Amino acid sequence: MRAARPRPLRAVAAAALAGGGLAINAARPAAAALPLCNGTAIAIAQNATTDFGDVVVPIRKGASVASNCQTGSGSAGPWVTALQRHLRNCNGQNIDVDGIYGPDTKQAVKNVQSAGHITADGIYGPKTMTVMRWYTVADSGKTSCRSYSTLAL
């Protein structure tokens, strides 16, 4: 009698059905190699002579730069709230700022990606970050929209 071969997918499915708390993630585009965003950080928007103020950007906690993560449909948290605020205030997207990456946020990201001439997949990541405008708040309370190149990350 032959020994049964291990069946990893069946084991995962069985554990999930048995309430093992496992989730199976669908395949994502090539950007999937990036970790998911799970927090925010404050960056400074500036050029050689002017400090435009602070900007809150999505990040992967524990990483050294803000452009190291992605987020998309189904995500929820302060990183999504920050993204939505930038999309609404500086990128002309009429969306709610509710912290949930739903269909409206996905479409808003696609719109910005299309305008920036990058792949419009609706997933926020480093390429999307570079084509967006970013909402800044100075110590004086003055707000402005700035390009990625002004962010000190």
Give the residue-averaged pLDDT of 42-54: 77
pLDDT of residue 49: 67
| Residues 6 or more apart whose Cβ sits within 8 Å of residue 98 | 81, 84
Residues 60-99: tens digit of each pLDDT: 887 766 667 899 999 999 999 999 999 999 999 999 999 9
Whether the per-residue pLDDT at 48 is higher than 70: the answer is no
Q: How far apart are CA 53 and CA 142, in angstroms?
A: 8
Two structure tokens written together for 56:
């809150």
CB 81 within 8 A of CB 135: no
CATH topology of domain 32-152: Muramoyl-pentapeptide Carboxypeptidase; domain 1 (1.10.101)
